[in-house]
Structure 1
Amino acid sequence: MNLPQTFQEKMKNLLQEEYDAFIRSYEEEKNQGLRINTLKISIDEFLQMNPFTTEKIPWVKEGYFYPGNERPGKHPYHEAGLYYIQEPSAMAVGELADPRPGERILDLCAAPGGKTTHLASEMRGEGLLVSNEIHPQRAKILSQNVERMGIQNAIVVNETPERLAVRFPGFFDRILVDAPCSGEGMFRKDEEARLHWSPENVALCARRQDEILDHAQSMLKPGGRLVYSTCTFSPEENEGTISRFLEKYPNFEIEQVEVYEGFSPGRADWVEKAAPGIEKTIRIWPHLVKGEGHYIAVLKKVDGDEAPRIKYAKSKLDPKMLKAYQQFAGETLNRTPSGNFIAFHDQLYALPEEAPALDQLKVLRPGLHLGTFKKNRFEPSHALALALSGEDAKNVWNLPADSEEILAYLKGETLQAGGPKGWYLMTVDGYSIGWGKLAGNVMKNHYPKGLRWMG
């Protein structure tokens, strides 16, 4: 592998006797992982029907390695949101964030969604998750992954940390900053990261991280937890960033968290003026575990000002739209999602409980998308289907994962079917995957055109 020469010299100076083992790790295959989505399926249930060759990842209870010759991203279970494909080391971040049901949590740099969906599964649908991504195209991918995993209590926004900090002082119980970085830990799997690396970019990333943390800390409640992570080896962006932060904000301290076999402590000797307790931070090395490079610091806000009162979102709905939704729900559902209903043009959403007011923010997904109001009738969304279980719908049409019918459905084809007319929750081996609408003996396909399989 063609690694930047200056990077190699830097790592040799840092690692010394470990350097040869580190460099040899680049000749090995990258490790693949999937994380079971416990919002939709339990670990035991998934393992009983698991079609892949998997091996437990030690540092995350829902995580499993799979071999590079298998393709879980091309399986119907992936479309049903039963798991998220995620780099194994990256799963440690959500685990150490340790979110709790009922909390208010912010994922500040959230795309493409691996860590957000991990946080959501631990929250079990209770509390508020705000997932932010500053880049519009990446924010759309984040929103799609939130939808696929059936998450109901997340708001997806496309904002700067600065604007969010103005709106949410002292508001969150936990904040995750998976910071933009020089990406050294991803060199084995990402050629772009190798091509764009330079010492100047490392310094630029470190300055950007300082700014992001400035805004993040102001949004955390006293007693709250701030988790900082990168996928780089660079001390300037890791121990250096945390040390600079703690010097500026002495009301924070580094927390001791569980350290798994192969994880290494932060290095005080790699930076000037290392913060006390920097060895409690965590480094993950590709020559010591089956994963790429990562750095994680867990910080506690010891004291600070209590949050001022903020405005909460209010239900805003055209009575005609509400009536159309209620008619649909009465005919189709055994359970309706909770939360305040709010309309954005002709789109209906269920806001999470305690959702803040969202005016003047760039919002991609203000909660669970329920559907669209079309000419005095309501058409359910794909997001609603993925948030439901088979017990939630009155009419269910199940397709086995190894059947021709599920492939036809995912390609957007109509199916021959019989039964009462109306909306059907389509499932794969009992797990929701989309909508169909039965008329006569034809199940009309409502799987979204942009998600349909080709060929």
Structure 2
Amino acid sequence: GNTGLLVANEPRQKRLAALVGNLERCGAYNTLVTSISGAKLARSFHNLFDRVLLDAPCSGDGILCKDRHMLSFWSPEDAQKKCTLQIGLLRAAFHTLRPGGRLVYSTCSLSTEENEDVLLGLLKRYKGLVQIQAVTQVQDGGLASEIGAQYPALLSGCSRVWPHLHATEGAFVAVVGKLGETEWDWVEPDPHPLLRRSPIAVDADPDDWSQRLKERWDFEPEIPAGYELVPQGRQLHLRSAEAAQLLERPWYVRAGMRVATLHKGHYFLSQQAVALWGEQAHQRRLDVDWSQTQSLFAGEPCAVSSPNLTGEVICFHDDIPLCRAVVSSGGDRIEGNVPKVARTNQLTRLLP
């Protein structure tokens, strides 16, 4: 993991916090988060990405089995409007894909207007450059023969998840390959320095944040080549060194991953920093048993016997770093710092 660069675009501001939270929960620091219309993003990224996922906005008719209230918002006219939007997004996404790359177009709609008709819009623009690849992972995902016959045979490789056959919500997926370079009408300044295949030589920690963390946690964080530690407000981030060149771009939101938060003069390690660097900790390491691990993940304090190690620690179970925690001054009680999104009262196992 954390090789290459993952660009995640979310045009809706109110959904950005959830996107950033999910990226950090997964420990991804090779990230660039952007917020702009997908069509406008194609102005900056040309024939570039190895993989593109377009989870297109749609009418949502595929989830009627879960929420019949959605039917009150659906109409043929709305599906046609969505089709126009989806064609523009798919053409833009296809342009950002490099020749030989792979694009996945997906919706939670089952209608041909929002799926096959959208692919026809792509073929109309880039006919000789589009390769529709077969989706083999879904069984019985095709259209009825009389409907499928209305479309080019190459679209038969697309697939649907049918609620009545697969016992889940409905969805559509198409895998698209690219056979040559495309052009875009509007070209903005090139952000490609961030996307170089080889890391550049940089001063990874010009402000010596590593030493400050070492003074507290007895280890100096390993900073991957091409990355740097930078303060952003009350937070410390690990990000690509080239991201500094993109701060003024209108679509830029953030790059990298939060690794610590400043509070009362002290940087508290984030959960993702514990996962990334926790194994480097030795002096401030506390091993806990399975019962204590379950309590930590339930968000509950538990009893410990740690007379010689108090204050902030990193908890481990079977050599797996779990979380940052605080041992009471008496060394007999511990309170964990497992994020709310990861807490559970039904923990049965840990995955390394």
TM-score by length of 1: 0.61
In structure 1, the residue matched to 2:312 is 423
The counterpart of 1:324, out of the listed 193, 212, 236, is: 212
In structure 2, the residue matched to 1:224 is 101
Is 1:378 paired with 2:256? no
Amino acid in the other structure paired with 1:300:
G
In structure 1, the residue matched to 2:199 is none
In structure 1, the residue matched to 2:83 is 206
**Structure 1 pair 400–353 and aligned structure 2 pair: CA distance change class (3 A):** farther
The answer to whether the 8 A contact 2:47-2:99 is kept is yes
The answer to whether the 8 A contact 2:60-2:109 is kept is yes
**Structure 1 pair 425–268 and aligned structure 2 pair: CA distance change class (3 A):** farther
Equivalent-residue separation in structure 2 for 1:279 and 1:150 (angstroms): 37
In structure 1, the residue matched to 2:235 is 347
SS of the equivalent of 1:349 reads strand
The answer to whether the 8 A contact 1:398-1:428 is kept is yes
In structure 2, the residue matched to 1:411 is 299
CA RMSD of aligned residues (A): 3.5
Is 1:437 paired with 2:326? yes
Q: What is the CA deviation profile of residues 56-97 of structure 1, one whole-angstrom value per residue up to 9, with x for unaligned ones?
A: xxxxxxxxxxxxxxxxxxxxxxxxxxxxxxxxxxxxxxxxxx
**Structure 1 pair 192–298 and aligned structure 2 pair: CA distance change class (3 A):** same
Deviates more, 1:405-414 or 1:429-438: 405-414
- Unpaired runs of at least 5, structure 1: 1-123
The answer to whether the 8 A contact 2:44-2:191 is kept is no
The answer to whether the 8 A contact 2:52-2:93 is kept is yes
Amino acid in the other structure paired with 1:171:
L
The answer to whether the 8 A contact 2:228-2:239 is kept is yes
Q: What is the CA deviation profile of residues 212-258 of structure 1, one whole-angstrom value per residue up to 9, with x for unaligned ones?
A: 11321221112111110111110100111111111111211211342
Amino acid in the other structure paired with 1:225:
R
SS of the equivalent of 2:164 reads coil
Query: Following TM superposition, by how much is the alpha carbon of 1:163 offset from its aligned partner in structure 2, in angstroms?
Result: 3.7
Equivalent-residue separation in structure 1 for 2:119 and 2:145 (angstroms): 11
Is 1:367 paired with 2:253? no
Amino acid in the other structure paired with 1:381:
S
In structure 2, the residue matched to 1:169 is 46
Amino acid in the other structure paired with 1:340:
E
In structure 1, the residue matched to 2:222 is 336
SS of the equivalent of 1:304 reads coil
The answer to whether the 8 A contact 1:267-1:279 is kept is no
The answer to whether the 8 A contact 1:158-1:362 is kept is yes
The answer to whether the 8 A contact 1:140-1:364 is kept is no
The counterpart of 2:130, out of the listed 231, 249, 252, is: 252
TM-score by length of 2: 0.77
Equivalences for residues 31-430 of structure 1 within 5 A: 124-250=1-127, 251-260=129-138, 262-266=139-143, 270=147, 274-304=151-181, 310-312=192-194, 319=207, 321-328=209-216, 331-332=218-219, 336-338=222-224, 339-352=227-240, 357-359=245-247, 360-361=249-250, 363=252, 365-374=254-263, 377-387=266-276, 391-394=279-282, 395-399=284-288, 403=291, 406-407=294-295, 410-411=298-299, 413=301, 416-418=304-306, 419-427=308-316
Q: What is the CA deviation profile of residues 362-395 of structure 1, one whole-angstrom value per residue up to 9, with x for unaligned ones?
A: 5555212111345654321223124456x34324
Equivalent-residue separation in structure 2 for 1:450 and 1:202 (angstroms): 35
Query: Following TM superposition, by how much is the alpha carbon of 1:145 offset from its aligned partner in structure 2, in angstroms?
Result: 2.0
Amino acid in the other structure paired with 2:93:
A
SS of the equivalent of 2:84 reads helix
**Structure 1 pair 286–267 and aligned structure 2 pair: CA distance change class (3 A):** same
SS of the equivalent of 2:29 reads coil
Report the count of equivalent residues. Answer: 326
Higher radius of gyration, 1 or 2: 2
In structure 1, the residue matched to 2:350 is none
